[in-house]
Chain A
């Protein structure tokens, strides 16, 4: 497998992990909205589903993007595909 193919395979795997986390917090948990609302886990005292829609999912997306960007930069560095000065 060429260097480029390996790079793309790692990139694709990172995409799948990122999208899996994204799926859980944007779609997955809301399949159980009514059940979660009754849960005794209450972040800052808010009902659980309500908290996820107000803050939880939103904050997780912010963190997820920065985490994804960091991991992708590592992959690019590993294969020497990061941008250098003068790449325009």
Chain B
């Protein structure tokens, strides 16, 4: 029902879907005018979009291995770009990124550069070659290129560590949003989020995840861009914020100079609720050393090129050529959101701190601010806090605190947009977190079912049995992730950055050298993966437990240590052991040429 015809009709299908979603937003806006409560609007937005994704997941169900693992290798370039963008942009990108820029400025923007620059590495070093290889999973490439179950198994370990760290953060984010929007306790909301994630992926594997991710991208990009453009016009900052906020950026710098950054005493700060922060760094000045900026960017770039849930999206394109172009489209769709995050941060900050704007709160009396509706709402949600530290009765810049998520979640309300926009933003955040979680859970369960179960344990397993194993693992991993997410060990953004460092430590060089260095062999790759992962993890534990670290490498950039060890050990071990045999060398030659059958099809 969906095959063939569906692929040809994609622009039409998703065009109707987008139109339908816009109509839904307008209907909600009318309902709001007619007196529908804010809470009900939030529930409608999240429930409606999640049901649509579940419907797509059900329609895309499949019993074929090719469709389950790589969506039948027929996803067109632009649509794969959208799916990858949704796969990529997590709850952290959607909810936390603008907040990070708002509070930390330049130092944080290394993540923007890193999370986009990594795609140049994906396009030039890896994606087209891995597509030519014709593998189902990333460990499938490692296992076949280097040969041997040990290499395959090591790749599965690295993949699982990195992806699992990442997925708990995403399930956590779906839980946070579901609990706010549906007004249920977090412990339950986590499992509601999990159920939605599994509905999208269990029946149709990669095929279902692909088509839901495209739908999720459309929701999340509308939900992000509409408020940014609207707030910008409303503030009179310009109808196209990306090119028109220079005056606002300059005005923030001027206000910062006027207010100054007063340091609060430790005793005062102790009264501020956990997780909230004040504005302590200049908005647009260069406030990090070159090394701090570059090391973080490098880790994010190498991590991007090593994270399996991104790489496996390029296994679904029809050809090598489309895989390459698809990387460009992915980055274009990511760019639309990432280039808007700093604009949102600027608009949010200016509307809060400029005393000449009606929304500005700095300089007002404490009592006045405490009586504002939105302040009360977000204070109750534990995302805003003010306190009169110096006792002068007016609010100073250093007496105002906010949670990172509030920049995206609260700015529409602060700027006086109707509540329907806040409902839309909640749906967008849910889409961002769900789409990433889907990709990650699928990456882990595919690696376990294909590489561990089928390739190592039971190579004679029938198709039906393989797909049942894949689905059972999917559910188990989802539950394990949700259980850990419910414990709330590490913040969303922290675990996301760790995932990149883990992936970079263990997989970056074994993947790249597998294509670009013929002499690389199995013992070298195993040493590279395991020693890289172990040394990176050891450094993380050392720094976390009070170690001083070296070369300015922090717990956010430990991938530099892991990847360096990985590179050196891989080269040394490869050179002191025997060169790969002629068949392997021929395989590498075949990978380097786009034409002809995939390498795995030749075997």
Contact = CB atoms under 8 A, between A and B. Distances in A.
Interface of A: 4, 7-8, 11, 15, 18-19, 22, 25-27, 30-34, 37, 42, 44-47, 49-50, 53-55, 57-59, 61-62, 64-66, 68-69, 72-73, 76, 80-84, 87-88
Contacts of B595: 76, 80-84, 87
B596 interface: yes
Describe A's contact surface by its main secondary structure: helix
Given A7-B593, A69-B324, A26 B331 contact: no
Chain B: interface size category: 35 or more
A63 B250 CA distance: 29
Nearest to A17: B124
B594 to A, nearest CB: 5
Contact of A47 (B284, B325, B596): B284
A76 B110 CA distance: 35
Contact of A68 (B114, B124, B247, B338): B124
Contacts, number: 146
Nearest to A21: B120
Given A68-B123, A81-B594, A46 B290 contact: no
Contacts of B301: 26
A83 B246 contact: no
B446 to A, nearest CB: 20
B405 interface: no
A87 B597 contact: yes
A65 B293 CA distance: 23
Given A68-B123, A69-B123, A83 B320 contact: yes
A31 B290 contact: yes
B12 to A, nearest CB: 25
A26 B325 contact: no
Contacts of A80: 595
A42 B243 CA distance: 12
B117 A69 contact: no
A76 B285 contact: no
A46 B246 contact: yes
Contacts of B597: 87-88
A18 B319 contact: no
A65 B123 contact: yes
B116 interface: yes
Contact of B331 (A19, A49, A62, A88): A62
Closest 8 pairs (CB-CB, A-B): A45-B246, A53-B109, A26-B117, A65-B328, A54-B342, A22-B120, A33-B286, A69-B324
Contacts of B339: 54-55, 58-59
B298 interface: yes
B287 to A, nearest CB: 9
Contacts of A50: 106, 249, 284
B215 to A, nearest CB: 23
A42 B246 contact: yes
19 contacts: A18-B124, A19-B120, A22-B117, A26-B120, A27-B297, A32-B290, A33-B286, A44-B243, A46-B246, A47-B285, A54-B109, A54-B343, A58-B338, A65-B119, A65-B120, A69-B321, A69-B328, A87-B319, A88-B597
A66 B245 CA distance: 28
A74 to B, nearest CB: 11
A43 B120 CA distance: 24
A72 B21 CA distance: 39
A32 B289 CA distance: 10
B113 interface: yes
A40 B593 CA distance: 47
Contacts of B117: 22, 25-26, 57, 61
A18 B120 CA distance: 8
A87 to B, nearest CB: 6
B10 interface: no
Give the residue among A8, A61, A81, A88 with the most B Cβ atoms within 10 A.
A61
Interface in B297-351: 297-298, 301, 319-321, 324-325, 327-328, 331-332, 335, 338-339, 342-343
A37 B325 CA distance: 34
Interface-centre pick from B244, B328, B598 (highest chain A CB count, 10 A): B328
Contact of B249 (A25, A46, A73, A83): A46
Nearest to A34: B286
Interface in B161-193: none
A66 B121 contact: no
B112 interface: yes
Contacts of A37: 285-286
B294 interface: yes
A54 B242 CA distance: 9
Contacts of A87: 319, 595-597
Contacts of A27: 294, 297-298
Q: Which of B73, B342, B594 has the most CB of A within 10 A?
A: B594
A84 B321 CA distance: 11
Given A27-B298, A83-B320, A87-B596, A49 B286 contact: yes
B249 A47 contact: yes
A30 B594 contact: no
B106 A31 contact: no
